Structure 1
Amino acid sequence: MFKSITKSCLAVTISAVFLAACSTSPTGRSQLKLYSKDQLANMGTQAFDGMKIEQKVSQQGVDNQYVSCVASFITKHVPNSVFDGQWELVVFEDDQVNAFALPGGKIGVYTGLLKVAQNQDQLAAVIGHEVGHVIAEHGNERMSNTTLIGLGLEATNQILNAKQVTNSNMIMAGIGLGLQVGVQLPFSRTHETEADLIGLELMARAGFDPTQSVELWKNMDKASKGQRTSEFMSTHPSPATRIETLSVNMSAAQSLANQASDNPNCSI
């Protein structure tokens, strides 16, 4: 019986896939994207405007100028097909060690990050990584993936109820956990690795020192003080995994940096 249920769910999912737009990521990975770039840009702008109201914006001119300087070198190497307008950057006054970029040309950096990203090159690695998510349209892909999973789970639930399957709630809970661990978490880790590689290339093309991306993750590891979820149950690869991936691709990045026409000199 479970096999027939699975096949029915699969049929629903496949039908949805055929109706969706498929494409390829910058690293050559197949992607499913159900939403248009305009839709994502509007969502990004609305979310960013809300954050500027709800969160404290830093008034420290030095921090703002420094972060804007680094970001400007990164964003000039973003293809116009991704965003061809003026990027908006805001520094938020918050101790969290984080940054983000949104469709529609929005970048947010938290002041806590500036205590861990110790120089312009390490900050460029973070901003390049976050912009890499936008370039690869990971937000679109995550939303599309969630939509399809939702359709599949709803179909399964209806089939279980129609056939009056015993312990249907327990089965649904098991399927949900299996999807999270078996699909969504590895999916997110794939995005993080892809953004690392895109960010590495971006910072190198912008004239920053790509080797500092490795130093950044050493700093991140120290800052976490060992309080990390195991990689298997995390949406992010471990710092050690990220350092290994970056190191393997460092030679190509160094070649790009050696050829770069830019020579950033952003100081705080």
Structure 2
Amino acid sequence: MNKKNGILVLALGLMLTACSTVPITGRSQLMLVQDAEILSSSALQYKQFLSGAKLSKNTQTTAQVRRVGQNVANATMLYLRQNGLSDMASQMKWEFNVVEDKAINAFCMPGGKIVVYTGLLKLVSSDAELATVISHEVSHAVARHSNERISQEYVRQMGGSLVGAAVSNKSALLQTVVGQAYGIGSQVLVTLPYNRKQEYEADKIGLIFMAMAGYNPNAALTFWQKMSAQSGGGQQADFFSTHPSDANRVAAIRQYLPEAMKYYKGK
């Protein structure tokens, strides 16, 4: 075996050993980042974000977000434990906060740290629509989409050094990438953009989690239709920078609904 082929074999071996499977969808994903590394960085960035944010003083809306969020979280934890994912469940430290901001936005950082902006809550007309938002964000965390994106960034930055990292000091090199590209203070984990595949995947998983929590998945249609109309009305939602809302998305949700409704028992 020549040197070039040897490098290819090592690279292939690295990719195979670094593969993970997304819950519910079963999609294979590249996962070079250790959960402990991401969760540690995420917790610090979340704390820093909250220290500079204006938390909502509206006790009613905050209580609603925390109540619906906890219901979704409980259903998610039950799913994880019933499907051999207790280790992942133990890593989730759920926290729900509402930030006073006109931006139409929400996010969930790795480990279950969720923020909903008051600008987005103005478009929410029911607990089920709110569950649509929260379940979608929870799904990003469960699918470990941030870990996946950082792993992809690691491959991009390391390039030809990837194999060397794999056989020598990958952990130190990986920490360097996380520290430089997603370091504390950059808040990239807050604004980390997901690709379209991950967005659709979060929609699909989210519909099932909200159904398990007792919220009618059909509410996702009304919510995303309102979001689409909001975008067309001239007010650009920050949510759209990482959460595209268009006819294709609504069409995909319609396709996912029959499967999600199997988990809906109503309240």
Describe the shift of the 1:235–1:52 C-alpha distance in structure 2 as closer, same or farther (beyond 3 A): closer
- Determine if the alignment matches structure 1 residue 130 to structure 2 residue 107: no
1:21 to 15, 18, 21: 18
- Determine if the alignment matches structure 1 residue 59 to structure 2 residue 57: yes
Describe the shift of the 1:251–1:44 C-alpha distance in structure 2 as closer, same or farther (beyond 3 A): same
Superposition RMSD in Å: 2.9
| CA deviation after TM superposition for structure 1 residue 217, in Å | 0.7
Describe the shift of the 1:61–1:247 C-alpha distance in structure 2 as closer, same or farther (beyond 3 A): same
How many Å separate the matches in 2 of 1:16 and 1:147? 16
| CA deviation after TM superposition for structure 1 residue 238, in Å | 4.1
Length-normalised TM-score, structure 1: 0.73
| CA deviation after TM superposition for structure 1 residue 154, in Å | 7.9
After superposition, the C-alpha distances for 1:7-65 in whole angstroms (9 at most, x for unaligned) are 99x95993684486211112121111111222222122111101111111112111110
How many Å separate the matches in 2 of 1:153 and 1:212? 47
Note if contact 2:132-2:210 (Cα within 8 Å) is conserved in structure 1. yes
Q: Percent identity?
A: 37
Gaps of 5+ in 1: 1-6, 156-184, 264-268
1:97 to 104, 107, 121: 104
User: Equivalent residue for 2:170?
Assistant: none
Length-normalised TM-score, structure 2: 0.74
User: Equivalent residue for 1:171?
Assistant: none
Q: How many residues align?
A: 220
How many Å separate the matches in 2 of 1:86 and 1:149? 30
Larger Rg computed on CA atoms: 1
Note if contact 1:92-1:108 (Cα within 8 Å) is conserved in structure 2. yes
| CA deviation after TM superposition for structure 1 residue 206, in Å | 0.7
Note if contact 1:117-1:219 (Cα within 8 Å) is conserved in structure 2. no
- Determine if the alignment matches structure 1 residue 48 to structure 2 residue 46: yes
Q: Which amino acid in the other structure matches residue 115 of structure 2?
A: G
Note if contact 2:224-2:245 (Cα within 8 Å) is conserved in structure 1. no
Please say which of residues 141-150 and 30-39 is displaced more in the overlay: 30-39
| CA deviation after TM superposition for structure 1 residue 98, in Å | 1.1
Describe the shift of the 1:120–1:153 C-alpha distance in structure 2 as closer, same or farther (beyond 3 A): farther
Gaps of 5+ in 2: 163-192
How many Å separate the matches in 2 of 1:211 and 1:102? 26
User: Equivalent residue for 1:143?
Assistant: 150
